[in-house]
Amino acid sequence: MSDSALPRLRARTRPISDPGDLLRFAEPQDPAVWLRRGDGIVGGGCLWRGEFQGESRIRDAREVWDAILAQARVEDAVRVPGSGLVAFGAFTFAASSGYASVLQIPQFIIGRMDGKSFLTELFVTDSTVGSGPVPTVPVRLPLIIPDGPEAVTDLEPGEMTQERHREAVECALSRIEQGEFTKIVISRDQHGKIEPDADRRHIVRRLANTYPETWTYAVDGLIGASPEMLVRVLGRSVTARVLAGTLPRGANEADDAAAKRALADSAKNRVEHKFAIDSAIESLRRLDTHDDPDTGLTASPEPFLLGLPNVWHLASDIRGTLPQGSSVLDLVEALHPTAAVGGTPRKKAMPVIDELEPFDRRRYAGPAGWLSASGDGEWVVALRGAEVDADGSVTAFAGGGIVAGSEAADEFAETGPKFRPITEALKPLAE
């Protein structure tokens, strides 16, 4: 893509009074959303969209984004994460995917972050408003779009049946035993169909309300609520939340406390977690050029237990400082795929995922998030969601880490609660 083919953009962010429920401003058919605990950003319309493919898809996106920024003018009177010029994005899990990775810039962004509400209006200067100053008019909120038809479907098992999943896990275990790799994540698929004109915001709202501690994302038809922060850059601060190791929540208080203890004490889950945290730290260290030891990476010495409505996870948070000259997309590229969704060693496990899974993961387990002209960005691992196509087809995936000692039946069962967020978000509203 040559720079002359890229739009010259202007973004103007101004404060507004609290707009309430942000989702009311999102596009019913194709919402662009990033929400946590009710706060975040919602984009409307599409001013520009870039598609990327193959091994260099994240690097190419970074180059195009830099080129757009080089000719953009940003007036940001609010200066909080998500204000100014922002793009939403979603990248495929595999370089070989037949699906597109995208970056898209909306026509407006309405947001609430750090207690400040704002509206960003975006313009293409060379076609829409000329190159003169953006006229100063009072802030007018975008229209609230009333709720449309429900988005309802039952998800049915796909190509990776229980039998096929067992074969894949057993094959993975024998290759682990032979020393080919030490961890691999095997997933399965489920499918459904909503009415093409269904309002996708119902799915997003259910996820955001039921899983407020996760990051609810919607980009280009990819919708979910992920508990796993691949990387967040705010100013020069870098954080990530690595998850691996799972048990379903218990049905009552005693069972739930027992499940939590069992996960904390499980040697298999701790090993699985260690692979994921080691892979994340190693990827970040490769970028880290700091000489100052105080700016280096730290991770919690012991994983903590993260309780979500559906599962317990072993979780670790990583903190550090953005290496000089790096951008959030460099970090996304370095980290993806962590061993929480790929395997260890990454290079050995990735082709085997392709071999053992009978489908294209599309953007499941890939990076999804946003980035801004100021250098901030938040990118989750796209889990606990689905691809919702324009014709209403719904494709959901959930997987789990296989290490020595994993049992195929347990691994299959573990994917059940991982599908729960999206399964329940696709139920009729009265339920």
Ligand X SMILES: C=C(O[C@H]1C=CC=C(C(=O)O)[C@@H]1O)C(=O)O
Task: Give the footprint of ligand X on residues 204-243 (CB under 6 A).
Answer: 228, 243
Helix/strand/coil (H/E/C) assignment for every residue in the chain: CCHHHCCCEEEEEEECCCCCCHHHHCCCCCCEEEEECCEEEEEECCCEEEEECCCCHHHHHHHHHHHHHHCCEEEECCCCCCCCCEEEEECCCCCCCCCCEEEEECCEEEEEECCEEEEEEEEECCCCCCCCCCCCCCCCCCCCCCCCCCCCCCCEECCCCHHHHHHHHHHHHHHHHCCCCCEEEEEEEEEEECCCCCCCHHHHHHHHHHCCCCEEEEECCEEEEECCEEEEEECCEEEEEEEEEEEECCCCHHHHHHHHHHHHHCHHHHHHHHHHHHHHHHHHHHHCCCCCHHHCCEECCCCEEEECCCEEEEEEEEEEECCCCCCHHHHHHHHCCCCCCCEECHHHHHHHHHHHCCCCCCCCCCEEEEEECCCCEEEEECCCEEEECCCCEEEEEEEEEECCCCCHHHHHHHHHHHHHHHHHHCCCCCC
Of 335 and 398, which CB lies nearer to ligand X in the complex structure?
Answer: 398
Task: Give the footprint of ligand X on residues 280-319 (CB under 6 A).
Answer: 313
Asked if residue 110 binds ligand X (CB under 6 A), the reply is no
Quote the least distance from Cβ 251 to ligand X, whole Å: 20
Q: Is 183 a catalytic residue?
A: yes
Quote the least distance from Cβ 184 to ligand X, whole Å: 11
* DSSP state string for 32-61: EEEEETTEEEEEES-SEEEEE-STTHHHHH
Of 151 and 381, which CB lies nearer to ligand X in the complex structure?
Answer: 381
Contact string 329-358 vs ligand X (x = CB under 6 A): -----------xx-----------------
Residue 246 has a CB neighbour count (10 Å cut-off) of 24
DSSP letter for 24, please. Answer: G
Quote the least distance from Cβ 147 to ligand X, whole Å: 29
Stretch binding ligand X (CB under 6 A), from 244-252, 256-264, 286-294, 322-330: 244-252
Quote the least distance from Cβ 429 to ligand X, whole Å: 25
Of 200 and 384, which CB lies nearer to ligand X in the complex structure?
Answer: 384
Q: Which residue is it, tokens 């020069």?
A: 236
Task: Please list the helix, strand and coil fractions of the chain in percent, rounded to the nearest 5, in that order.
Answer: 30, 30, 40
Quote the least distance from Cβ 187 to ligand X, whole Å: 6
Length of the chain: 431
Quote the least distance from Cβ 426 to ligand X, whole Å: 17
- Figure out which of the listed residues 383, 394, 396, 426 binds ligand X, where binding follows CB under 6 A: 383
Q: Which residue is it, tokens 């509206």?
A: 119
Quote the least distance from Cβ 376 to ligand X, whole Å: 24
Contact string 392-421 vs ligand X (x = CB under 6 A): ------xxxx----------------x---
Quote the least distance from Cβ 219 to ligand X, whole Å: 18
- Figure out which of the listed residues 182, 246, 310, 316 binds ligand X, where binding follows CB under 6 A: 246
Of 120 and 246, which CB lies nearer to ligand X in the complex structure?
Answer: 246
Q: Is 333 a catalytic residue?
A: no
Query: Which of 27, 228, 357, 387 does the annotation list as catalytic?
Result: 228
- Known catalytic residues are 183, 228
**Would you tell me which residues interact with ligand X (CB under 6 A)?**
185, 187, 228, 243-246, 313, 340-341, 383-384, 398-401, 418
